[in-house]
Amino acid sequence: MPTSLIRVGVVFGGASGEHDVSIRSASTVIKALADDSNRERFVVTPLYIDREGRWWSDTIARSVLESGAALTNEELPQPLPARGLRQLPVNPDCIDVWYPVLHGPNGEDGTVQGLFTLMQQPFVGSGVLGSAVGMDKLAMKAAFAVAGISQVPYLGINAADLNNPPQLEHVLVKVEDELGYPCFVKPANLGSSVGISKVRNRDELLAGLQLAAELDPRLVVEQGVNARELECAVLGREHLKASVVGEVRFDADWHDYETKYTEGRSQTLIPAPLPDAVSQRIQAMAVDACRAVHAYGQARVDVFYDEADGRIWLNEINTLPGFTSQSMYPTLWEASGMPLPQLVAELVATAQE
Ligand SMILES: Nc1ncnc2c1ncn2[C@@H]1O[C@H](COP(=O)(O)OP(=O)(O)O)[C@@H](O)[C@H]1O
Ligand SMILES: [Mg+2]
């Protein structure tokens, strides 16, 4: 084995609703690391986290990657160990760089980043702070506000307040006075539009709050805007680079779960048809957003753009963006002149900086 070979531990799956996307993202990453141009530089050990948080060896990880589907409890080796991480299925001394390809809670939120930090080993992507702040919409918005980045007006709400009639009345009045209709009700900690409602009156607001409260103790309500949805990819450590800007269009009132995951209902335009000056403002905002939450390595920053008056609002940052061959993050870099094999090699390099 040449001494320069970097041993990369790709961790995927995960106890999150985005388990299946993670499997597809990991396949893309691993293929790119095994590309002809990378073959002499990287050797990959894949590790699979099942839906109940158990970690499995590369043998099992490879069979998940091959089939492209999660293993059920019955398909995993028996007897099943207790849920969660009990021991690493690999000797950490055999890994040079960890590469988490996990989306959503238990992977994108700082937990696994904390594990790598405690092991004192380098890993791809943001550290504990950036990952945790980027996962929680309320924490993220607070950090963006402090950094002076333009955002849609919003309110943070405790789900517990909905059970107290005077508090609830206060919440409803505050939303109507400060935000008005339509507005968007969101759980602070999910993704893929799960638990989000667009509401147009008090009854819908109440229903939206109740739905979100079943999923999260922390809720966000945002003023609704009529805007184009644009996304920009960021890469780097000390120096953060921004990609060309892409656009998501869909045949629905807003980008809900069904539209996101039904074939043919949304399309991406890369690069987005925009005046250069607007693209440049979005690229600058994307880098500012990373700095505001201390995100680095990789991030996808999503913004709203109101063509009528030229306003741009920051919507959210994703510190572990989707990485399937069709995902926006790698596609934006491809369109910026960086093919997938080079992109994953740069990501590993940012971990070692
Ligand atoms: N304030 C808003 N105004 C208009 N549309 C919104 C607003 N907030 C969310 N949306 C719509 O809901 C979608 C999902 O919201 P987002 O905050 O991006 O959640 P997620 O983290 O689940 O992607 C957005 O892509 C957009 O279509
Ligand atoms: Mg989104």
Distance (Å, whole) CA 312 – CA 305: 5
Same domain flag for 92 and 12? yes
Which of 206, 223, 240 is the last residue before a domain boundary?
223
Residue 2 has pLDDT above 70, yes or no: no
Nearest CA owner, ligand 1 atom 13 = 255
Residue 3 has pLDDT above 70, yes or no: no
| Mean pLDDT over each residue of the chain, to the nearest integer | 95
231 in any annotated domain: yes
Residue 1 has pLDDT above 60, yes or no: no
243 in any annotated domain: yes
332 in any annotated domain: no
Across 141-170, average pLDDT: 97
DSSP bridge partners of 56: 48
Spatial CB neighbours of 200, under 8 Å, sequence gap ≥ 6: 181, 182
Same domain flag for 41 and 176? no
Q: Structural domain of residue 31, as residue ranges?
A: 6-124
Confidence (pLDDT) at 193: 80
Same domain flag for 144 and 170? no
Same domain flag for 209 and 233? no
Confidence (pLDDT) at 16: 84
97: CA distance to ligand 1 center in Å? 34
Across 149-168, average pLDDT: 96
Residue 252: CATH number of its domain: 3.30.470.20
pLDDT band at 343 (very low <50, low <70, confident <90, very high): very high
Residue 228 has pLDDT above 90, yes or no: yes
82: CA distance to ligand 1 center in Å? 37
Same domain flag for 145 and 275? yes
The rounded radius of gyration (Å) of the Cα atoms in the chain is: 21
| Ligand 1 atom closest to 194 (CA) | 22
pLDDT tens by residue, 321-331: 999 999 999 99
30: CA distance to ligand 2 center in Å? 25
Instruction: Look up the pTM and report it.
Output: 0.95
301 in any annotated domain: yes
27 in any annotated domain: yes
Same domain flag for 106 and 142? no
Task: Work out the percent of the chain whose per-residue pLDDT is above 90.
Answer: 88
Ligand 1 contacts (CB < 6 A) are: 152, 184, 186, 191-193, 196, 222-225, 229, 254-255, 302, 315-316
pLDDT band at 105 (very low <50, low <70, confident <90, very high): confident
Same domain flag for 144 and 293? yes
72 in any annotated domain: yes
193: CA distance to ligand 1 center in Å? 7
Same domain flag for 100 and 37? yes
Residue 211: CATH number of its domain: 3.30.1490.20
Confidence (pLDDT) at 17: 83
